[in-house]
Protein backbone atom coordinates (compact mmCIF):
# COMPACT_ATOMS: atom_id res chain seq x y z
CA UNK A 1 0.00 0.00 0.00
CA UNK A 2 2.79 2.41 0.93
CA UNK A 3 4.63 1.67 -2.34
CA UNK A 4 1.44 2.26 -4.35
CA UNK A 5 0.85 5.57 -2.54
CA UNK A 6 4.44 6.62 -3.26
CA UNK A 7 4.02 5.82 -6.96
CA UNK A 8 0.79 7.84 -7.17
CA UNK A 9 2.47 10.76 -5.37
CA UNK A 10 5.47 10.72 -7.70
CA UNK A 11 3.27 10.54 -10.81
CA UNK A 12 1.16 13.44 -9.52
CA UNK A 13 4.26 15.53 -8.85
CA UNK A 14 5.63 14.75 -12.32
CA UNK A 15 2.32 15.78 -13.92
CA UNK A 16 2.29 19.02 -11.91
CA UNK A 17 5.90 19.76 -12.82
CA UNK A 18 5.18 19.09 -16.50
CA UNK A 19 2.08 21.29 -16.41
CA UNK A 20 4.08 24.00 -14.66
CA UNK A 21 6.84 23.80 -17.24
CA UNK A 22 4.32 24.05 -20.09
CA UNK A 23 2.64 27.06 -18.40
CA UNK A 24 5.95 28.83 -17.82
CA UNK A 25 6.96 28.16 -21.42
CA UNK A 26 3.73 29.72 -22.76
CA UNK A 27 1.49 32.03 -20.71
CA UNK A 28 3.83 32.21 -17.74
CA UNK A 29 6.76 33.35 -19.88
CA UNK A 30 4.87 36.41 -21.07
CA UNK A 31 3.55 37.12 -17.59
CA UNK A 32 7.02 36.99 -16.04
CA UNK A 33 8.56 39.09 -18.82
CA UNK A 34 5.81 41.65 -18.33
CA UNK A 35 6.48 41.77 -14.60
CA UNK A 36 10.25 42.17 -14.94
CA UNK A 37 9.82 44.71 -17.72
CA UNK A 38 7.42 46.78 -15.64
CA UNK A 39 9.78 46.87 -12.68
CA UNK A 40 12.90 47.66 -14.72
CA UNK A 41 11.31 50.49 -16.71
CA UNK A 42 9.63 52.07 -13.66
CA UNK A 43 12.69 51.93 -11.41
CA UNK A 44 14.98 53.16 -14.19
CA UNK A 45 12.90 56.34 -14.48
CA UNK A 46 12.62 56.55 -10.70
CA UNK A 47 16.41 56.61 -10.24
CA UNK A 48 17.74 58.44 -13.28
CA UNK A 49 14.88 60.78 -14.21
CA UNK A 50 12.93 61.53 -11.04
CA UNK A 51 15.90 60.85 -8.71
CA UNK A 52 13.75 59.10 -6.12
CA UNK A 53 14.39 56.05 -3.94
CA UNK A 54 13.91 52.84 -6.00
CA UNK A 55 13.17 50.66 -2.98
CA UNK A 56 10.39 52.97 -1.85
CA UNK A 57 8.96 53.13 -5.37
CA UNK A 58 9.04 49.35 -5.74
CA UNK A 59 7.19 48.96 -2.44
CA UNK A 60 4.56 51.61 -3.21
CA UNK A 61 3.97 51.17 -6.94
CA UNK A 62 5.16 47.80 -8.27
CA UNK A 63 4.84 45.29 -5.45
CA UNK A 64 1.08 45.82 -4.86
CA UNK A 65 0.37 45.09 -8.53
CA UNK A 66 2.38 41.86 -8.74
CA UNK A 67 -0.40 39.67 -7.35
CA UNK A 68 1.67 37.31 -5.28
CA UNK A 69 4.78 37.00 -7.46
CA UNK A 70 6.63 40.02 -6.09
CA UNK A 71 8.66 37.86 -3.72
CA UNK A 72 10.32 36.18 -6.71
CA UNK A 73 11.47 39.45 -8.30
CA UNK A 74 15.01 40.76 -7.94
CA UNK A 75 16.20 44.09 -9.31
CA UNK A 76 19.62 45.71 -9.53
CA UNK A 77 20.36 49.38 -10.21
CA UNK A 78 23.59 49.98 -12.12
CA UNK A 79 24.25 53.70 -11.71
CA UNK A 80 27.44 53.59 -13.74
CA UNK A 81 25.69 52.12 -16.79
CA UNK A 82 22.45 54.04 -16.18
CA UNK A 83 20.35 50.90 -16.27
CA UNK A 84 18.14 48.64 -14.16
CA UNK A 85 17.88 44.86 -14.52
CA UNK A 86 15.09 42.77 -13.04
CA UNK A 87 14.77 38.99 -13.00
CA UNK A 88 12.15 36.48 -11.89
CA UNK A 89 13.50 33.38 -10.14
CA UNK A 90 16.85 34.09 -11.78
CA UNK A 91 15.42 34.25 -15.33
CA UNK A 92 13.18 36.33 -17.59
CA UNK A 93 15.57 39.25 -17.17
CA UNK A 94 14.44 42.69 -18.37
CA UNK A 95 16.80 45.63 -18.87
CA UNK A 96 15.82 49.30 -18.94
CA UNK A 97 18.38 51.91 -20.00
CA UNK A 98 18.31 55.64 -19.30
CA UNK A 99 19.09 57.94 -22.24
CA UNK A 100 19.60 61.63 -21.51
CA UNK A 101 16.73 63.72 -22.80
CA UNK A 102 14.74 60.63 -23.78
CA UNK A 103 13.99 58.91 -20.49
CA UNK A 104 14.20 55.14 -20.08
CA UNK A 105 13.95 52.52 -22.80
CA UNK A 106 12.90 48.95 -22.13
CA UNK A 107 15.59 47.13 -24.11
CA UNK A 108 14.69 43.80 -25.69
CA UNK A 109 17.79 41.64 -25.38
CA UNK A 110 21.40 42.64 -24.87
CA UNK A 111 21.91 44.37 -28.19
CA UNK A 112 22.85 47.98 -28.81
CA UNK A 113 20.37 50.52 -27.51
CA UNK A 114 19.18 52.97 -30.22
CA UNK A 115 20.30 56.56 -29.59
CA UNK A 116 22.06 55.30 -26.46
CA UNK A 117 23.72 58.64 -25.77
CA UNK A 118 20.43 60.51 -25.95
CA UNK A 119 20.84 64.24 -26.44
CA UNK A 120 21.46 67.28 -24.31
CA UNK A 121 18.36 69.40 -23.97
CA UNK A 122 18.29 73.19 -23.65
CA UNK A 123 16.92 74.23 -20.25
CA UNK A 124 13.34 75.48 -20.10
CA UNK A 125 12.60 78.46 -17.86
CA UNK A 126 10.09 77.94 -15.06
CA UNK A 127 6.76 79.73 -15.35
CA UNK A 128 6.30 79.84 -11.57
CA UNK A 129 7.67 81.90 -8.67
CA UNK A 130 10.78 80.53 -6.96
CA UNK A 131 9.06 80.13 -3.59
CA UNK A 132 6.40 77.50 -2.98
CA UNK A 133 2.89 78.95 -2.78
CA UNK A 134 0.99 78.04 0.37
CA UNK A 135 -2.80 78.52 0.22
CA UNK A 136 -3.90 81.62 2.14
CA UNK A 137 -7.52 80.47 2.39
CA UNK A 138 -8.03 78.02 5.29
CA UNK A 139 -10.83 76.28 3.37
CA UNK A 140 -8.55 75.56 0.40
CA UNK A 141 -5.84 74.44 2.79
CA UNK A 142 -8.34 72.05 4.40
CA UNK A 143 -9.39 70.68 1.00
CA UNK A 144 -5.76 69.87 0.19
CA UNK A 145 -5.32 68.38 3.67
CA UNK A 146 -8.06 65.92 2.80
CA UNK A 147 -6.31 64.99 -0.44
CA UNK A 148 -3.17 64.04 1.49
CA UNK A 149 -5.07 62.27 4.29
CA UNK A 150 -5.11 58.48 4.55
CA UNK A 151 -8.64 57.57 5.70
CA UNK A 152 -8.09 53.85 5.08
CA UNK A 153 -4.50 52.68 5.70
CA UNK A 154 -5.26 49.33 4.06
CA UNK A 155 -5.94 51.21 0.80
CA UNK A 156 -3.43 54.08 0.82
CA UNK A 157 -3.90 57.09 -1.45
CA UNK A 158 -0.22 58.08 -1.44
CA UNK A 159 -0.89 61.55 -2.83
CA UNK A 160 2.40 62.99 -4.07
CA UNK A 161 1.44 66.43 -5.38
CA UNK A 162 -1.48 68.86 -5.63
CA UNK A 163 -1.28 72.12 -7.61
CA UNK A 164 -4.12 74.65 -8.00
CA UNK A 165 -4.36 77.45 -10.59
CA UNK A 166 -7.18 80.02 -10.45
CA UNK A 167 -7.54 82.78 -13.02
CA UNK A 168 -4.20 81.60 -14.37
CA UNK A 169 -2.42 82.20 -11.06
CA UNK A 170 -0.80 79.59 -8.83
CA UNK A 171 -2.75 79.79 -5.56
CA UNK A 172 -1.74 76.53 -3.84
CA UNK A 173 0.70 73.64 -4.09
CA UNK A 174 1.74 70.82 -1.82
CA UNK A 175 4.08 67.83 -2.17
CA UNK A 176 4.79 64.62 -0.33
CA UNK A 177 8.16 64.09 1.32
CA UNK A 178 10.87 63.68 -1.32
CA UNK A 179 8.80 65.38 -4.04
CA UNK A 180 8.81 69.00 -5.18
CA UNK A 181 7.79 71.43 -7.94
CA UNK A 182 10.34 69.95 -10.38
CA UNK A 183 9.95 66.24 -9.57
CA UNK A 184 8.96 64.34 -12.73
CA UNK A 185 6.14 61.92 -11.87
CA UNK A 186 4.97 59.03 -14.03
CA UNK A 187 1.72 60.42 -15.41
CA UNK A 188 0.44 57.24 -17.08
CA UNK A 189 -2.50 58.07 -19.39
CA UNK A 190 -2.18 61.82 -18.94
CA UNK A 191 0.21 61.14 -21.83
CA UNK A 192 -2.80 60.69 -24.12
CA UNK A 193 -3.87 64.29 -23.50
CA UNK A 194 -0.34 65.46 -24.36
CA UNK A 195 -0.55 63.44 -27.59
CA UNK A 196 -3.84 65.25 -28.27
CA UNK A 197 -1.91 68.55 -28.03
CA UNK A 198 0.92 67.39 -30.30
CA UNK A 199 -1.59 66.19 -32.91
CA UNK A 200 -3.33 69.57 -32.57
CA UNK A 201 -0.05 71.33 -33.34
CA UNK A 202 0.38 69.22 -36.49
CA UNK A 203 -3.20 70.11 -37.48
CA UNK A 204 -2.47 73.81 -36.93
CA UNK A 205 0.64 73.48 -39.09
CA UNK A 206 -1.40 71.84 -41.88
CA UNK A 207 0.48 68.52 -41.63
CA UNK A 208 -2.59 66.52 -40.55
CA UNK A 209 -6.38 66.77 -40.86
CA UNK A 210 -8.82 65.27 -38.40
CA UNK A 211 -11.02 63.83 -41.15
CA UNK A 212 -8.23 62.22 -43.16
CA UNK A 213 -7.56 58.48 -43.07
CA UNK A 214 -4.84 57.81 -40.50
CA UNK A 215 -1.48 57.79 -42.35
CA UNK A 216 -0.41 54.34 -41.20
CA UNK A 217 1.60 52.56 -43.94
CA UNK A 218 0.36 49.11 -42.89
CA UNK A 219 -3.24 50.19 -43.59
CA UNK A 220 -2.81 51.29 -47.20
CA UNK A 221 -4.31 48.20 -48.81
CA UNK A 222 -7.76 48.94 -50.29
CA UNK A 223 -9.09 45.73 -48.72
CA UNK A 224 -7.85 46.51 -45.20
CA UNK A 225 -10.78 47.51 -42.92
CA UNK A 226 -8.37 49.67 -40.92
CA UNK A 227 -7.98 51.90 -43.98
CA UNK A 228 -11.21 53.79 -43.15
CA UNK A 229 -10.00 54.85 -39.66
CA UNK A 230 -9.52 58.61 -39.38
CA UNK A 231 -7.22 60.66 -37.16
CA UNK A 232 -10.33 61.91 -35.34
CA UNK A 233 -11.48 58.36 -34.58
CA UNK A 234 -8.11 57.43 -33.10
CA UNK A 235 -8.26 60.49 -30.84
CA UNK A 236 -11.85 59.69 -29.84
CA UNK A 237 -11.24 55.97 -29.32
CA UNK A 238 -14.08 54.97 -31.65
CA UNK A 239 -11.73 53.58 -34.31
CA UNK A 240 -12.99 50.02 -33.86
CA UNK A 241 -9.79 48.81 -32.20
CA UNK A 242 -10.51 46.65 -29.14
CA UNK A 243 -10.90 47.84 -25.57
CA UNK A 244 -7.33 46.87 -24.77
CA UNK A 245 -6.91 47.51 -21.05
CA UNK A 246 -8.51 44.66 -19.13
CA UNK A 247 -7.98 42.93 -15.79
CA UNK A 248 -6.29 39.90 -17.33
CA UNK A 249 -2.66 39.16 -16.53
CA UNK A 250 -1.77 39.81 -20.17
CA UNK A 251 -3.86 42.24 -22.24
CA UNK A 252 -3.21 43.87 -25.63
CA UNK A 253 -2.02 46.92 -23.71
CA UNK A 254 0.52 45.07 -21.54
CA UNK A 255 1.70 42.97 -24.48
CA UNK A 256 2.34 46.13 -26.50
CA UNK A 257 4.12 47.97 -23.67
CA UNK A 258 6.37 45.19 -22.40
CA UNK A 259 6.75 42.53 -25.07
CA UNK A 260 6.82 44.40 -28.39
CA UNK A 261 9.89 46.37 -29.52
CA UNK A 262 7.83 48.08 -32.28
CA UNK A 263 4.64 49.05 -30.48
CA UNK A 264 2.99 50.83 -33.41
CA UNK A 265 3.52 47.83 -35.70
CA UNK A 266 1.80 45.61 -33.13
CA UNK A 267 -1.08 48.09 -32.78
CA UNK A 268 -1.46 48.38 -36.55
CA UNK A 269 -1.92 44.64 -37.06
CA UNK A 270 -4.48 44.26 -34.25
CA UNK A 271 -7.87 43.20 -35.72
CA UNK A 272 -10.86 45.51 -35.34
CA UNK A 273 -13.67 44.64 -32.95
CA UNK A 274 -16.12 47.07 -34.59
CA UNK A 275 -16.53 49.09 -37.75
CA UNK A 276 -14.83 52.48 -37.36
CA UNK A 277 -17.02 55.15 -35.78
CA UNK A 278 -19.65 52.76 -34.36
CA UNK A 279 -18.45 51.88 -30.84
CA UNK A 280 -16.24 53.39 -28.13
CA UNK A 281 -13.43 51.35 -26.58
CA UNK A 282 -10.50 52.52 -24.48
CA UNK A 283 -7.49 52.34 -26.78
CA UNK A 284 -3.85 52.52 -25.78
CA UNK A 285 -3.10 51.02 -29.19
CA UNK A 286 -4.73 53.96 -30.95
CA UNK A 287 -2.64 56.49 -29.07
CA UNK A 288 0.61 54.72 -29.92
CA UNK A 289 -0.46 54.90 -33.57
CA UNK A 290 -1.05 58.64 -33.16
CA UNK A 291 2.42 58.82 -31.62
CA UNK A 292 3.89 57.13 -34.70
CA UNK A 293 2.37 59.94 -36.79
CA UNK A 294 4.10 62.49 -34.55
CA UNK A 295 7.36 60.53 -34.79
CA UNK A 296 7.17 60.44 -38.60
CA UNK A 297 6.23 64.12 -38.95
CA UNK A 298 9.05 65.18 -36.62
CA UNK A 299 11.81 63.40 -38.56
CA UNK A 300 11.72 59.71 -37.70
CA UNK A 301 14.04 59.43 -34.67
CA UNK A 302 13.39 59.43 -30.94
CA UNK A 303 15.40 62.64 -30.51
CA UNK A 304 13.43 64.29 -33.36
CA UNK A 305 10.11 63.55 -31.66
CA UNK A 306 11.39 64.78 -28.30
CA UNK A 307 12.79 67.98 -29.81
CA UNK A 308 9.45 68.60 -31.54
CA UNK A 309 7.57 68.19 -28.25
CA UNK A 310 10.02 70.47 -26.41
CA UNK A 311 10.11 73.23 -29.01
CA UNK A 312 6.41 73.28 -29.86
CA UNK A 313 4.77 72.45 -26.52
CA UNK A 314 6.96 71.96 -23.44
CA UNK A 315 9.13 75.03 -24.04
CA UNK A 316 6.34 77.56 -24.64
CA UNK A 317 4.45 76.25 -21.59
CA UNK A 318 7.48 76.12 -19.29
CA UNK A 319 7.09 72.36 -18.81
CA UNK A 320 10.71 72.07 -17.78
CA UNK A 321 10.70 68.50 -16.45
CA UNK A 322 8.59 66.82 -19.17
CA UNK A 323 9.98 63.78 -21.03
CA UNK A 324 8.08 61.27 -23.18
CA UNK A 325 9.74 57.86 -23.33
CA UNK A 326 9.90 55.92 -26.60
CA UNK A 327 9.98 52.34 -27.81
CA UNK A 328 12.96 50.79 -29.58
CA UNK A 329 11.93 52.32 -32.93
CA UNK A 330 11.89 55.84 -31.49
CA UNK A 331 8.10 56.13 -31.39
CA UNK A 332 6.89 58.02 -28.30
CA UNK A 333 4.92 55.75 -25.97
CA UNK A 334 1.97 58.13 -26.22
CA UNK A 335 -0.40 55.79 -24.46
CA UNK A 336 1.22 56.12 -21.06
CA UNK A 337 4.89 57.07 -20.69
CA UNK A 338 5.30 60.76 -19.98
CA UNK A 339 7.08 62.00 -16.87
CA UNK A 340 6.40 65.57 -15.77
CA UNK A 341 5.86 67.49 -12.56
CA UNK A 342 2.47 68.50 -11.21
CA UNK A 343 3.41 72.14 -11.91
CA UNK A 344 4.10 71.23 -15.54
CA UNK A 345 0.70 69.61 -15.85
CA UNK A 346 -1.00 72.64 -14.30
CA UNK A 347 0.46 74.76 -17.11
CA UNK A 348 -0.75 72.15 -19.58
CA UNK A 349 -4.27 72.34 -18.18
CA UNK A 350 -4.18 76.14 -18.34
CA UNK A 351 -3.33 75.91 -22.05
CA UNK A 352 -6.68 74.21 -22.66
CA UNK A 353 -8.51 76.60 -20.35
CA UNK A 354 -7.10 79.43 -22.52
CA UNK A 355 -8.16 77.77 -25.81
CA UNK A 356 -4.64 76.81 -26.82
CA UNK A 357 -2.96 80.20 -26.31
CA UNK A 358 -0.02 80.88 -23.98
CA UNK A 359 1.59 84.30 -23.48
CA UNK A 360 -0.27 85.58 -26.54
CA UNK A 361 1.04 82.78 -28.78
CA UNK A 362 -1.38 80.29 -30.33
CA UNK A 363 -0.14 76.73 -29.75
CA UNK A 364 -3.28 74.77 -30.61
CA UNK A 365 -5.81 75.46 -33.39
CA UNK A 366 -8.62 77.82 -32.44
CA UNK A 367 -11.44 75.76 -30.93
CA UNK A 368 -9.19 72.74 -30.27
CA UNK A 369 -9.99 72.69 -26.56
CA UNK A 370 -13.74 72.62 -27.27
CA UNK A 371 -13.18 69.83 -29.79
CA UNK A 372 -11.13 67.86 -27.27
CA UNK A 373 -13.92 67.70 -24.70
CA UNK A 374 -16.86 67.32 -27.11
CA UNK A 375 -18.73 64.05 -26.57
CA UNK A 376 -17.84 60.88 -28.49
CA UNK A 377 -20.93 58.81 -29.35
CA UNK A 378 -22.85 58.31 -26.07
CA UNK A 379 -19.73 57.92 -23.93
CA UNK A 380 -18.21 60.20 -21.32
CA UNK A 381 -15.07 60.56 -23.42
CA UNK A 382 -14.08 63.36 -25.74
CA UNK A 383 -10.88 63.29 -27.82
CA UNK A 384 -7.96 62.79 -25.48
CA UNK A 385 -9.89 64.03 -22.43
CA UNK A 386 -12.68 62.69 -20.25
CA UNK A 387 -15.84 64.77 -19.90
CA UNK A 388 -18.46 65.32 -17.19
CA UNK A 389 -21.37 64.94 -19.60
CA UNK A 390 -22.40 61.41 -18.57
CA UNK A 391 -23.14 60.82 -14.89
CA UNK A 392 -24.98 57.53 -15.17
CA UNK A 393 -23.78 54.11 -16.18
CA UNK A 394 -20.11 53.25 -16.15
CA UNK A 395 -17.08 52.82 -18.36
CA UNK A 396 -17.29 49.42 -20.09
CA UNK A 397 -15.01 46.67 -18.77
CA UNK A 398 -13.70 48.85 -15.91
CA UNK A 399 -17.12 49.40 -14.25
CA UNK A 400 -15.89 52.86 -13.20
CA UNK A 401 -17.86 56.13 -13.31
CA UNK A 402 -17.49 58.33 -16.37
CA UNK A 403 -17.21 61.66 -14.61
CA UNK A 404 -17.44 63.48 -11.28
CA UNK A 405 -21.10 64.37 -10.57
CA UNK A 406 -20.17 66.72 -7.70
CA UNK A 407 -18.46 69.06 -10.18
CA UNK A 408 -19.88 71.43 -12.84
CA UNK A 409 -21.04 69.90 -16.12
CA UNK A 410 -18.49 71.87 -18.15
CA UNK A 411 -15.60 70.26 -16.25
CA UNK A 412 -13.34 67.99 -18.27
CA UNK A 413 -10.17 66.21 -17.29
CA UNK A 414 -7.12 64.19 -18.20
CA UNK A 415 -6.84 60.98 -16.20
CA UNK A 416 -4.08 58.44 -15.70
CA UNK A 417 -3.71 55.19 -13.79
CA UNK A 418 -2.94 55.26 -10.07
CA UNK A 419 -4.74 58.57 -9.61
CA UNK A 420 -3.21 61.12 -11.97
CA UNK A 421 -5.63 63.98 -12.72
CA UNK A 422 -5.63 67.32 -14.53
CA UNK A 423 -9.09 68.75 -13.79
CA UNK A 424 -10.16 71.75 -15.90
CA UNK A 425 -13.26 73.75 -14.90
CA UNK A 426 -13.86 76.56 -17.42
CA UNK A 427 -16.81 78.08 -15.53
CA UNK A 428 -14.59 78.50 -12.46
CA UNK A 429 -11.38 79.51 -14.33
CA UNK A 430 -9.82 76.64 -12.41
CA UNK A 431 -7.16 73.96 -13.00
CA UNK A 432 -6.39 71.38 -10.31
CA UNK A 433 -3.68 68.74 -10.66
CA UNK A 434 -3.48 65.71 -8.39
CA UNK A 435 -0.75 63.08 -8.75
CA UNK A 436 0.04 60.03 -6.65
CA UNK A 437 0.29 56.24 -6.41
CA UNK A 438 -3.24 55.15 -5.54
CA UNK A 439 -3.49 51.48 -6.41
CA UNK A 440 -7.20 51.31 -5.52
CA UNK A 441 -8.20 54.54 -7.33
CA UNK A 442 -9.83 56.01 -4.19
CA UNK A 443 -8.19 59.44 -4.45
CA UNK A 444 -11.00 61.80 -3.37
CA UNK A 445 -10.03 64.15 -6.21
CA UNK A 446 -13.59 65.10 -7.13
CA UNK A 447 -14.41 65.99 -3.52
CA UNK A 448 -11.20 68.02 -3.21
CA UNK A 449 -12.00 70.06 -6.32
CA UNK A 450 -15.59 70.59 -5.13
CA UNK A 451 -14.27 71.88 -1.80
CA UNK A 452 -11.87 74.24 -3.60
CA UNK A 453 -14.74 75.60 -5.71
CA UNK A 454 -16.86 76.10 -2.59
CA UNK A 455 -14.01 78.00 -0.97
CA UNK A 456 -13.63 80.25 -4.01
CA UNK A 457 -17.36 81.03 -3.87
CA UNK A 458 -17.42 81.77 -0.17
CA UNK A 459 -18.32 85.36 0.61
CA UNK A 460 -15.66 87.42 2.40
CA UNK A 461 -16.19 87.77 6.14
CA UNK A 462 -18.11 90.92 7.13
CA UNK A 463 -16.31 93.41 9.42
Q: Is 6 found in the same domain as 147? A: no
In the prediction, which pLDDT does 9 show? 52
Judgement on whether residues 437 and 341 belong to the same structural domain of the protein? yes
Q: Tell me, yes or no, whether 113 lies in a domain.
A: no
Q: How many residues does the chain have?
A: 463
Does 80 share its domain with 156?
A: no
Which of 107, 129, 147 lies at the terminal end of a domain, its last residue? 107
DSSP states along 265-283: HHHHTSPPSS-TTS-----
User: What local confidence, expressed as pLDDT, does residue 17 receive?
Assistant: 42
CB 193 within 8 A of CB 319: no
Residue 15's pLDDT is 46
Q: Is residue 163 part of a domain?
A: yes
Would you call 430 helix, strand, or coil by DSSP? strand
Question: DSSP characters for 48-84?
Answer: HTS---HHHHIIIIIGGGSTT-GGGEEEEEETTTTEE
Check whether residue 174 and residue 266 sit in a common domain.
yes
What values do phi and psi take at 85, rounded to 5? -120, 135
- Clarify whether residues 74 and 186 are in a common domain: no
Query: If we measure between CA atoms, which residue out of 340, 325, 303 comes closest to residue 414?
Result: 340
Burial class from Cβ neighbours inside 10 Å (0-12, 13-18, 19+) for residue 199 reads buried
Low-confidence ranges of the chain (pLDDT < 70): 1-27, 441, 459-463
Residue 260 lies in a domain: yes
Domain total in the chain: 2
Cβ proximity of 460 and 148 under 8 Å: no
- The enclosing domain of 212 has a CATH number of 3.40.710.10
**Do 90 and 159 fall within a single domain?**
no
Q: What is the pLDDT of residue 303?
A: 97
- pLDDT tens string 313-332: 999 999 999 999 999 999 99
Q: Which domain holds residue 153?
A: 138-457
Residues 100 and 155 reside in one and the same domain:
no
What stretch of H or E contains 161? strand 159-166
Amino acid sequence: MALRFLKITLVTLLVLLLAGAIWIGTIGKDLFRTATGSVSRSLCATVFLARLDPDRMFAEEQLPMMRGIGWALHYEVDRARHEVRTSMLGGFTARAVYREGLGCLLAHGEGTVPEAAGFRTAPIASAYPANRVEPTDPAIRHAIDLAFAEPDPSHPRLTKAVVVLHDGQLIAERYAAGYGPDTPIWAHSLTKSVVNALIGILVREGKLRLDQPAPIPAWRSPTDPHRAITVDQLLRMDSGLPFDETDGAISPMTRMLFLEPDMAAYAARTPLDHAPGTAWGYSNLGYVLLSRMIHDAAGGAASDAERFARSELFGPLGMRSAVIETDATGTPVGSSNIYASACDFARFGQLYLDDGVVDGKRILPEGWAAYSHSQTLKSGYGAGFWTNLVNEGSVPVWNAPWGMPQLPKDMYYARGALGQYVVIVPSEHLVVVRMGISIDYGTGTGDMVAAIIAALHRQPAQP
